[in-house]
Amino acid sequence: MNEIGKLFIVPTPIGNLADITHRALSVLSEVNLIAAEDTRHSQKLMQHYAISTRLISLHDHNESQRAKQLIEKLKLGENVALISDAGTPLISDPGYGLVNQCRETGIEVVPLPGPCAAITALSGAGLATDRFRFEGFLPVKAVAREQALESLKAESATSVFYESPRRVLATVKLISKVLGENRPVVLAKELTKTFETFYTGSAEACVAWLEEDTNHQRGEFVLMIAGEKRDQTQVSPEALKLLTLLMKELPLKKAAAITAEQFSLKKNHLYQLGLEL
Ligand code: SAM
């Protein structure tokens, strides 16, 4: 055991205990040590799968000191698995400092694929998934929260957030205020659990749904906001100016393509406009 050890990043279930891979179970059984966000919480999963590997804590408040200790162990040849309370470690969960230091020290980091609430929600929401923006938790302070949402006004990709049951109603109200009451929103609640629910509607309808029954506000939430739909036939004065300038130097096809790329517009529409100009 003198070779340098490996750090395994192991996703765990987000509700349904059956959602764990064969590989995750063998890694957790075979490593020398499991670093867990909350050892008591993870003990239940270990008991369920009869895994007796030693657990030590690694959370937001001890990560830098713990990372040093773990790196020493890894250097001595011990293999370590990192888990969080649920889902994929480092995704709105601790572990960044440890992984970063392992990479810098030349310790191999082996991430395993597995459950993640954001990806599970997105795959079942019925919103566009070709581009999405993961925002984690919104800031807690009111001004910063509003600013974060303001920055999404022109976002054309789907936005994905984590939210606590305590704040979900206030957040959806704020989405309605900042992004408009008609913006399509999907609330994915209690994923993989008995009362898994997807509620889809305008921001305003989501507020009403959360308010109509306080039980609707209970549980764990992933919140998704549809991207802003751009009318690709609305050409701004800036886009028109660029097209006109480029047309003087380049073939129309090229000028239209560059302008389209720059302003997220349709090439063909700009080409037609160029002909008319
Ligand atoms: N690392 C985790 C992952 O990969 O999804 C996320 C950890 S973050 C601290 C916890 C947040 O994830 C919760 O507040 C909630 O927003 C979301 N979440 C976790 N499990 C969920 C579930 N079963 N259903 C809906 N949201 C969930």
- What percentage of the chain reaches a pLDDT higher than 90? 91
Distance between first and last Cα of the chain: 74
pLDDT score for 93: 97
Of 151-155, 185-189, 262-266, least confident by mean pLDDT is: 262-266
* CA–centroid distance, residue 100 to ligand 1 (Å): 23
**Pocket flag, ligand 1, residue 169 (CB < 6 Å):** no
The mean pLDDT of the chain is 95
Q: Quick one: average pLDDT of 14-38?
A: 98
Atom number, ligand 1, closest to the C-alpha of residue 91: 1
Atom number, ligand 1, closest to the C-alpha of residue 118: 5
For a mutational test of ligand 1's pocket, the pick from 218, 220, 223, i.e. the residue with the most ligand atoms closer than 8 A to its C-beta, is: 220
Q: 179-193 pLDDT, tens per residue? A: 999 999 999 999 999
pLDDT score for 108: 98
Rg (CA), the chain: 24
Using alpha carbons, select from 95, 40, 44, 89 the residue that is nearest to residue 66: 95
pLDDT score for 264: 78
The domain segmentation of the chain, as residue ranges, is: 7-111, 117-225, 237-276
pLDDT score for 237: 86
pLDDT score for 22: 98
pLDDT score for 125: 98
pLDDT tier at 166, thresholds 50, 70, 90: very high
pLDDT tier at 265, thresholds 50, 70, 90: confident
7-111 adopts what CATH topology?
Cobalt-precorrin-4 Transmethylase; domain 1 (3.40.1010)
Same fold, 7-111 and 117-225: no
- What percentage of the chain reaches a pLDDT higher than 70? 98
pLDDT score for 229: 82
pLDDT score for 235: 85
Tell me the C-alpha distance between 21 and 116, whole Å. 13
pTM, 2 dp: 0.85
Q: 62-110 pLDDT, tens per residue? A: 999 999 999 999 999 999 999 999 999 999 999 999 999 999 999 999 9
pLDDT score for 251: 94
Using alpha carbons, select from 203, 120, 123 the residue that is nearest to residue 168: 203
**Pocket flag, ligand 1, residue 86 (CB < 6 Å):** yes
> Does residue 1 surpass a pLDDT of 60?
no
* CA–centroid distance, residue 117 to ligand 1 (Å): 5
* CA–centroid distance, residue 184 to ligand 1 (Å): 21
What string of H, E and C letters represents the secondary structure of 199-228? EEEEHHHHHHHHHHCHHHHCCCEEEEECCC
pLDDT score for 37: 96
* CA–centroid distance, residue 197 to ligand 1 (Å): 14
Task: Look up the CATH architecture of domain 117-225.
Answer: 2-Layer Sandwich (3.30)
User: What residue has token string 């830098």?
Assistant: 64
Residue 212 has a CB neighbour count (10 Å cut-off) of 9
pLDDT tier at 231, thresholds 50, 70, 90: low
Q: Quick one: average pLDDT of 30-36?
A: 98
